[in-house]
């Protein structure tokens, strides 16, 4: 299997699995219990907190473990609104993940207002627009660090300081950015930041919310006093340990992302552009994650290409999401002003450090034939 769908999820690094195994077998203590096994589990969580904090450039006490990116995002939104009961306005972008967009739709149904910032044809935000949209009733500005479909990066530090100066909470969904590009959360205006383990070769169902030590926080889940009273519920010890190890490895490999992984992505992208006519790259090619390429293949339906790729043992993904049985063109492509046809002809290839140059070459050998077959040329 040639796996080029690393923005959907990544394979667990063997070293991550190894780190988790003791906590799925003999080290089964509850981290909140005072017995020896409990203390071992609690220590393991604190070690993981240090590892995740190191990746995010913050202090361990600023990390709250959660069940993943979706929970972290929901917790950030809920906290900002709880702490600002009089403010009923949220600003986000039109190209966020559904983990942000769906809660925003729910807020609107509750009578709150949401401003969704648009992007240009290269998927970039108009920075001046953000400032104009902040109003006295704005409770939260939430902008993703990197887009999951195109890989386009947003200047979150700058946006965070503008929101912070205006006394508004700033959250960033850094689920796709963490482990791929350097992040320094400390000493920024970022109040909250969401990350997820399974996007960086850790296990699924675990993530973290960075809560700036200068920012108040109101928990989403109430119950026991775990996570310093910020997230109730017995912690997922093996998951958190694995996430910690994955974060440590991601930090060690960060340089490789900018060099080796980027070189693989670039070789794939330029190979496709050279060998296949009528292909466009979606999104700005400079301000972009090193591992992602979003390509529109004129005159084809991405779903048909995926089917043939699957038969050839190649895993990629369409730039469109399958919603309630009907194929909806991607909201990201639509926000960039592309036609439904271009959106539906888009495929995303996302690389990881586990891919090789030989795999890229193998995919480049197969893809032109597949596209030609579908185009009937
Ligand atoms: C940008 C972005 N945000 C949030 C999420 C959700 O994260 P999780 O799967 O950990 O809930 C994803 C995962 O697809 C994502 O790509």
CATH of the domain at 277: 3.90.1150.10
In this structure, the answer to whether residues 161 and 301 fall within a common structural domain is: no
Model pLDDT, residue 231: 98
Residues 134 and 236 in one domain: yes
Pseudo-torsion of CA 351, 355, 358, 363, nearest 10°?
A: -40
pLDDT of 223 over the 90 cut: yes
Of 35, 58, 315, 322, the active-site residue reads 322
Same domain, 304 and 223: no
Q: What confidence score (pLDDT) does residue 187 get? A: 86
Q: Please give the average per-residue pLDDT across 359-370, as a whole number.
A: 98
Joined tokens for residue 228: 């310093």
Q: CA 186, CA 1: separation in Å to the nearest integer?
A: 40
Judgement on whether residues 242 and 274 belong to the same structural domain of the protein: no
Q: Which residues contact 248 (CB under 8 A, 6 or more apart)?
A: 51, 54, 55
Give mean pLDDT, residues 69-76: 98
> pLDDT value at position 323?
40
Instruction: Verify that 72 and 219 share a domain, yes or no.
Output: yes
Query: What percent of the chain is predicted at pLDDT more than 70?
Result: 98
68 CB near ligand 1 (under 6 Å): yes
CB-hemisphere CA count at 13 Å for 288? 21
119 shares a domain with 149: yes
The residue whose C-alpha atom lies closest to atom 8 belonging to ligand 1 is: 69
- Both 245 and 332 in one domain: the answer is no
Domain count, the chain: 2
Q: Which of 190, 219, 252 is the last residue of a domain?
A: 252
Q: What is the mean pLDDT of residues 214-220?
A: 97
What does the mean pLDDT of the chain come to?
96
Residues 6 or more apart whose Cβ sits within 8 Å of residue 358: none
Domain termination site, one of 234, 252, 270: 252
Both 57 and 104 in a single domain? yes
User: Ligand 1: distance of its center to the CA of 196 in Å?
Assistant: 7
What's the 276 CA to ligand 1 centre distance in angstroms?
Answer: 31
**Residue 324: pLDDT band with limits 50, 70, 90:** very low
Model pLDDT for residues 167-207, shown as the tens digit of each residue:
999 999 999 999 999 999 988 999 999 999 999 999 999 99
Single residue among 222, 252, 282 that ends a domain in this structure:
252
- pTM recorded for the entire structure: 0.97
269 in the same domain as 212: no
Q: Are residues 283 and 187 in the same domain?
A: no
Q: What digits encode the pLDDT tens for the residues 281-307?
A: 999 999 999 999 999 999 999 999 999
Residue 276 has pLDDT above 50, yes or no: yes
Query: Any idea what the CATH number is for the domain that residue 24 is in?
Result: 3.40.640.10
Tell me the residue range of the domain where 117 lies. 14-252
Task: Judge whether residue 121 has pLDDT over 80.
Answer: yes
Q: How many alpha carbons lie under 13 Å from residue 24 in its C-beta half-sphere? A: 12
Question: Is residue 348 lining ligand 1, measured as CB closer than 6 Å?
Answer: no
Do 143 and 186 share a domain, yes or no? yes
Q: Is the CB of 6 under 6 A from ligand 1?
A: no
Instruction: Based on the fold, state whether residues 66 and 24 are members of the same structural domain.
Output: yes
The per-residue pLDDT for 325 is 42
């Amino acid at each position: 299997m040639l796996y080029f769908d690393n923005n959907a999820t990544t394979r667990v690094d063997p070293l991550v699995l190894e780190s988790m195994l003791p906590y799925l077998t003999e080290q089964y203590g509850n981290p909140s219990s005072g017995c020896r096994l409990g203390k071992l589990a609690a220590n393991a969580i604190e070690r993981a907190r240090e590892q995740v904090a190191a990746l995010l450039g913050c202090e361990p006490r600023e990390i709250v473990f959660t069940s993943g990116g979706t929970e972290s995002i929901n917790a950030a939104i809920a906290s900002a609104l709880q702490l600002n009961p009089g403010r009923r306005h949220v600003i986000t972008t039109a190209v966020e993940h559904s983990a942000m967009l769906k809660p925003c739709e729910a807020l609107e149904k509750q009578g709150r207002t949401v401003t969704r910032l648009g992007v240009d044809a290269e998927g970039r935000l108009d920075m001046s627009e953000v400032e104009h949209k902040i109003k006295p009733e704005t409770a939260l500005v939430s902008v993703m660090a990197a887009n999951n479909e195109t890989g386009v990066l947003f200047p979150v530090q700058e946006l965070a300081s503008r929101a912070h100066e205006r006394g508004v909470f700033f959250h960033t969904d850094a689920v796709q950015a963490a482990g791929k590009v350097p992040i320094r959360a400390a000493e920024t205006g970022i109040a909250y930041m969401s990350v997820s383990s399974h996007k960086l070769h850790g296990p699924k169902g675990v993530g973290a919310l960075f809560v700036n030590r200068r920012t108040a926080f109101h928990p989403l889940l109430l119950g026991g006093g775990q996570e310093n009273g910020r997230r109730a519920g017995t912690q997922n010890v093996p998951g958190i340990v694995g996430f910690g190890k994955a974060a440590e490895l991601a930090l060690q490999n960060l340089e490789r992302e900018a060099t080796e992984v980027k070189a693989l992505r670039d070789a794939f992208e330029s190979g496709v552009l050279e060998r296949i006519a009528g292909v466009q790259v979606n999104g700005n090619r400079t301000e972009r994650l090193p591992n992602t390429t979003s390509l529109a293949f004129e005159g084809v339906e991405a779903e048909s290409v995926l089917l043939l790729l699957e038969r050839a043992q190649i895993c990629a993904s369409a730039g469109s999401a399958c919603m309630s049985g009907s194929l909806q063109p991607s909201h990201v492509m639509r926000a960039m002003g592309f036609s439904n046809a271009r959106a539906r002809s888009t495929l995303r290839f996302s690389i990881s450090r586990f891919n090789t140059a030989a795999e890229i070459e193998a995919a480049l050998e197969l893809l032109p034939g597949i596209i030609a077959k579908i185009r009937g040329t």
